[in-house]
Amino acid sequence: MSDKDNIIEERESFFIRITGDFYDFVSGFAIPIVLVGTPIFLVLLGLTFLCHWDIVCSLFSLVSGFSLLFLAYIISLILVIDRLLLYRVSKERAPHYSLTVIWGIVLIGLGITLCFVTNNHNKQYKFDCAEWYVDEENHLYHWNKKCDKIGSTTHVAKGYEIRGQGLVFCDYCKDELDDYESSYKPIRRP
């Protein structure tokens, strides 16, 4: 039996115990998903800081927050990191099971944190990319250009252009947007 076989037989992991035989099956897909997903995610993330294009906004929504694609990526990333550490540590000595439980919980915690952080960034970016009707006279911005409260000196601006100007989101438009989003699209508000 080779050293590699010994390493594989001796490895012990929280994730291996809770997923059983599926660990190897799933982690087989994990490496390609991480190799392909990481550059795509990083490029899109970088673009969100450089431009405010609708196409980037739509694509980033698909690969961030709690989207199925991002959840699959996070699970894959956790499995790959877990597997890499196990193989590396196992070359010397198999880690104690309780350590892998702590390690597993830390990885899951980091994964959930990444989902929340990217979800918040995605909401902010959607606001930045969206067009709003700005009523500077009343210090309001509107979502609906036919809003009853809209003033006569309104101009259109993207979210990033009006951020930090102390404008208030119109109450009527807020309710309308809530109704619209609950029936169709996710949140688009700072």
Shortest separation between residue 178's beta carbon and Zn ion, angstroms:
13
Shortest separation between residue 145's beta carbon and Zn ion, angstroms:
9
- Nearer Cβ to Zn ion, position 42 or 168? 168
- For Zn ion, the binding residues (CB under 5 A) are 142, 147, 149, 170, 172-173
- Nearer Cβ to Zn ion, position 56 or 147? 147
Name 154's bridge partners: 135
- Nearer Cβ to Zn ion, position 86 or 170? 170
Shortest separation between residue 12's beta carbon and Zn ion, angstroms:
59
**CA distance from start to end of the chain:** 59
Shortest separation between residue 156's beta carbon and Zn ion, angstroms:
14
Q: How far is CA 50 from CA 1, 40, 57, in A?
A: 54, 15, 12
Shortest separation between residue 174's beta carbon and Zn ion, angstroms:
8
Phi, psi (deg, nearest 5) at residue 153: -110, 55
- Nearer Cβ to Zn ion, position 17 or 145? 145
Element (H, E) at 156: strand 154-158
- Integer Cα distance of 124 and 91 in angstroms: 45
Residues 6+ apart with CB under 8 A from 132: 141, 142, 143, 156, 157, 158, 159, 162
- Nearer Cβ to Zn ion, position 149 or 155? 149
